[in-house]
Amino acid sequence: MNNNLKFNTWVVGVNGYELHLENIKFVKNIDINYFLKNYKVSNIWRGKWIIKRLINRIFKRRIHQVIQWDKTLWDRIQVTLIEAGIQKNKYSDIDIVEKNIKDKVKLNRFDDIKKYQLLLTKGVQLPPPLYISGRCINYIGGNVDDNLLFILDGARRITAHILNKCNPKILILDLKDNANKK
């Protein structure tokens, strides 16, 4: 796994809220076939088609570029589970953070965040949010910083972690170290 990865700071809504993580630790690699069969987006959809759709959304809404899909991407990526620490000094007054988030997202999204926050408080393990690296984005036609991470799924869950000041586990799609660019 690339140790220079940087999180794209906008994680929630259109304007979003900054995500500050530290002490990123490798947990394990996950088999890509297992991941594609078992990872659920919005607790409903699974498989390559939904992940591809989320990646395409990054191209359309975040980087405003045209995707040049390469079906060999699935053979060239690895899925890595990491654990990261929330930077406590960036979120010292949770009431202010919560108010800022509430002002920036739709009410139904904020209600979901609060629901996830309550589940975390009760000790429920939520599925890890999913990110994709700039290297993967560049492999399929993007032009971004190789080390930048873009969120594909789980913005509300990661925000609930921020509000609870608890360390999240995160899944990252990244090119294998031996994967050559086109």
| pLDDT at position 29 over 90 | yes
Q: Give the integer Cα–Cα distance in Å for 44 and 31.
A: 21
Q: Give the integer Cα–Cα distance in Å for 109 and 155.
A: 10
Q: Give the integer Cα–Cα distance in Å for 167 and 144.
A: 27
Q: In the predicted model, what is the mean pLDDT of residues 27-56?
A: 89
For the chain, give the percent of residues with pLDDT over 90: 47
Residue 30's pLDDT band (boundaries 50, 70, 90)? very high
Q: Give the integer Cα–Cα distance in Å for 83 and 151.
A: 15
> pLDDT averaged over the chain?
86
Identify the pLDDT of residue 90. 77
| pLDDT at position 147 over 70 | yes
Identify the pLDDT of residue 121. 94
| pLDDT at position 91 over 90 | no
Higher pLDDT, 113 or 10: 113
Higher pLDDT, 130 or 181: 130
The string of DSSP codes covering 85-152 is EE-GGGGS-HHHHHHHHHHHS-HHHHHHHHHHHHHHHTT--PPPPEEEEHHHHHHTT--S-TTEEEEE
Q: In the predicted model, what is the mean pLDDT of residues 142-166?
A: 90
Q: In the predicted model, what is the mean pLDDT of residues 136-160?
A: 91
79, containing H or E segment: strand 77-86
Contact status, residue 167 vs residue 84, Cβ threshold 8 Å: yes
| pLDDT at position 181 over 70 | no
Identify the pLDDT of residue 179. 62
Identify the pLDDT of residue 3. 59
> Which segment of 79-83, 84-88, 101-105, 164-168 scores lowest on mean pLDDT?
84-88
Residue 122's pLDDT band (boundaries 50, 70, 90)? very high
Residue 24's pLDDT band (boundaries 50, 70, 90)? confident
Residue 48 has, within 13 A of its CA and on its CB side, a CA count of 10
